[in-house]
Chain A
Amino acid sequence: MTAAAARRQSFAVVAEFGSAAELYHAAERVRDAGYRFWDVHSPFPIHGMNKAMGLGKSPLGYIIFCGGLTGFLTAVGLEFIPSSILYPLIVHGKPVDFFTVPAFFPIMFELTILFSAFTAFFGVFILNRLPRLHHPLFDYLPFRRVTNDAFFLVIESGDPKYSETGTRDFLQGLGSKEVKVIYAND
């Protein structure tokens, strides 16, 4: 091994599978083997994959709830403070106290939805660490077929159980079509 080759850090081991079912069962095995830094890639969502991968519940729901609540409280503040406290004006003979709330509901609804939608959109970005302009997997040319007809399972080198040869052999034992080690600077 030359000095240049020794400096190259492996990034991940990629295994290609022939079908969604094979990928699903392979994911169950990888989960049971105790790997943590790994992912699967498929052209379409596979039902039940989050269970096969042993993923927990996403915290996104709670984040969106907080976003929605913020939107709701913003609307309550923006409507009641001017209309009931600062400049109480009687319009259409409607009251200016709490009982004018039917007129305010549409705004409360809209702002709740708007803030929830923004929180969901940017929450997904942040949780997935996006935007990311490049990823070492893109250097592996067969990986481009993942948007078409290929199914991949990737175990990254950051995993505590990772070892270049051991992980490769493990994935080969799962019935993969092809297993390849990816280097970060290829």
Chain B
Amino acid sequence: MSLHSVPKPEHFDVKNLSRILLILLGIGALSLLITLVVGFVAPPGSPLRRQFAFSWLFAFIYFFTVLAGCYFWILVHHSTDSGWGILVRRQMENLAMLLPWMVLFFVPLFLFRKDIWAWITVKNQVHVDPALEAKLPYFEFRLGHVVIPFFWLRTIFYFLYFGLAAFYFRRTSLRQDADGDPRWSIQMRGVSFVCLLVFAASLTAMSFDWIASLDYHWASTMWGVYIFSGAAGAGMALIILVVVGLKNAGYLWAVNEEHYHIMGKLLLTFSIFWGYIGFSQYMLIWYGNIPEETQWFLRRNVESWNVLSTFMVVGRFFIPFLYLLFQFTKRNPKFLSFICFWVLAMHVLDTYITVLPFIHPTGFQINILDLLCLFAIGCPLAFLFLRTIGDVPLFPARDPRLLESVNLSN
């Protein structure tokens, strides 16, 4: 069943999508307008303002982690020197190219920083919390008499790193499309090793800066890995959905069930990994029973939060795990895309449980702003993705190992 002809480059035709693009733009603009107006009109210190700030943070963290997960798979692909995924790699690159745009959506977080990160306001008060005093050097770096807000420096670094690296991998891949030189593959492999280390460091620091510092008393050495495990699984789910979508639209004819099988296996792996990391973090804190650590989970195990937390364990681990154990669910695009939607929805729940308990300690209250913020960030991103997907070929047609990916067998 092996093919011996290299597939011709394919281009996505954006013309058929004008209605979808218009709808996405409309919903996005409307949600952006409503959320931002509500956020800025609400008086300082009011619950509505805090609700907006945290809803926005929730939506921002959701999309940032999913896209960082997509970017992670480019790095894995290059550093493991894989041949299976050449056909789908361009879609990972396209998704990762949305990361530079996330800086725009970070602007509201910067403007509402005092409503979100409590330590920014607390540190200026006379009676500084002793726990914060010990941790302040992490947020602020002292050089002689000058205090440098290390927190913002790191934030700038994350955006620079994710933006430049995503840009680099797609540009180099496009250069290979032009000249077909194998040295670009070798160069990207070398760069990906360095990028992988920086990725691990940035994502860990990011998860502490933006999420864990919401409760700066808390300490967990596994928090960075926890965020990563959720991000990588959700990223793979999004990649699969994009590939299945393109295939249904009549593109990427060379992608077949073997590719779905491999991507399904990776999704299964990262569902297990999420369960493993999430449980390891929970069990150590539960067993150690130190108040400073347990308060994170106490907050999430009281009132109605307990229902959501329990449901998340079942939904993010047990259901994808048992579902993806079978071979036919991984090889059939319909079954596979169902579980991808499910995993992405469970990642919404995961992010919701991570961020929102800080403003609703007595149980979850789903606010319309949560949904609108998801649309306000998600719709513009989807618009940008679909608008730019036609600019480049749908797969790197002159990659030296394209045939290896076409003739893939498990």
Contacts and interface: CB of A to CB of B under 8 A. Distances in A.
A47 B283 CA distance: 42
Interface string B276-292: 00010011001101000
A105 B283 contact: yes
Given A102-B283, A105-B279, A48 B289 contact: no
A52 B409 CA distance: 12
Interface in A32-76: 47-48, 51, 57, 61, 65
Contacts of A48: 1-2, 409
B409 A47 contact: yes
Interface residues of B, number: 11
B82 interface: no
B287 A102 contact: yes
SS class, residues of chain B in contact with chain A:
helix
Interface string B1-37: 1100000000000000000000000000000000000
Contact of A65 (B283, B286, B325): B325
Contacts of B325: 65
A102 B286 contact: yes
Given A65-B325, A102-B287, A51 B409 contact: yes
B131 to A, nearest CB: 24
B258 to A, nearest CB: 9
B327 to A, nearest CB: 7
Contacts of A105: 279, 283
Contacts of B287: 92, 102-103
A105 B1 CA distance: 45
A103 B325 CA distance: 26
A105 B327 CA distance: 26
SS class, residues of chain A in contact with chain B:
helix
Contacts of A106: 283
Nearest to A100: B286
Interface string B33-60: 0000000000000000000000000000
Contacts of B409: 47-48, 51
Contacts of A61: 327
A173 interface: no
Nearest to A24: B2
A20 B2 CA distance: 14
A160 interface: no
A93 interface: yes
Nearest to B276: A109
Nearest to A21: B2
Contacts of B282: 102
Given A47-B409, A48-B409, A92 B289 contact: yes
Nearest to A61: B327
Contacts of B1: 48, 51
A62 B286 CA distance: 35
Contacts of B327: 57, 61
Contacts of A92: 287, 289
B275 to A, nearest CB: 10
B336 to A, nearest CB: 18
A106 B276 CA distance: 10
A48 B279 CA distance: 38
A105 B281 CA distance: 13
A93 B286 contact: no
A93 B325 CA distance: 37
Interface string A127-151: 0000000000000000000000000
Nearest to A50: B409
A47 to B, nearest CB: 5
A60 to B, nearest CB: 12
Given A47-B409, A48-B1, A48-B2, A93 B283 contact: no
Contacts of B283: 102-103, 105-106
A156 to B, nearest CB: 26
A125 B286 CA distance: 42
Contacts of B2: 48
Contacts of B289: 92-93
A133 to B, nearest CB: 34
Interface string A90-107: 001100000000110110
B395 to A, nearest CB: 21
Contacts of A102: 279, 282-283, 286-287
B196 to A, nearest CB: 27
Interface in B266-320: 279, 282-283, 286-287, 289
B389 to A, nearest CB: 31
Contacts of A57: 327
A92 B288 CA distance: 9
A109 B73 CA distance: 28
A92 B327 CA distance: 43
B169 to A, nearest CB: 28
Instruction: Identify the 4 closest CB pairs spanning chains A and B, nearest first.
Output: A48-B409, A102-B283, A47-B409, A102-B286
Given A92-B287, A92-B289, A105-B279, 17 more contacts: A47-B409, A48-B1, A48-B2, A48-B409, A51-B1, A57-B327, A61-B327, A93-B289, A102-B279, A102-B282, A102-B283, A102-B286, A102-B287, A103-B283, A103-B287, A105-B283, A106-B283
19 contacts: A48-B1, A48-B2, A48-B409, A51-B1, A51-B409, A57-B327, A61-B327, A92-B287, A92-B289, A93-B289, A102-B279, A102-B282, A102-B283, A102-B286, A102-B287, A103-B287, A105-B279, A105-B283, A106-B283
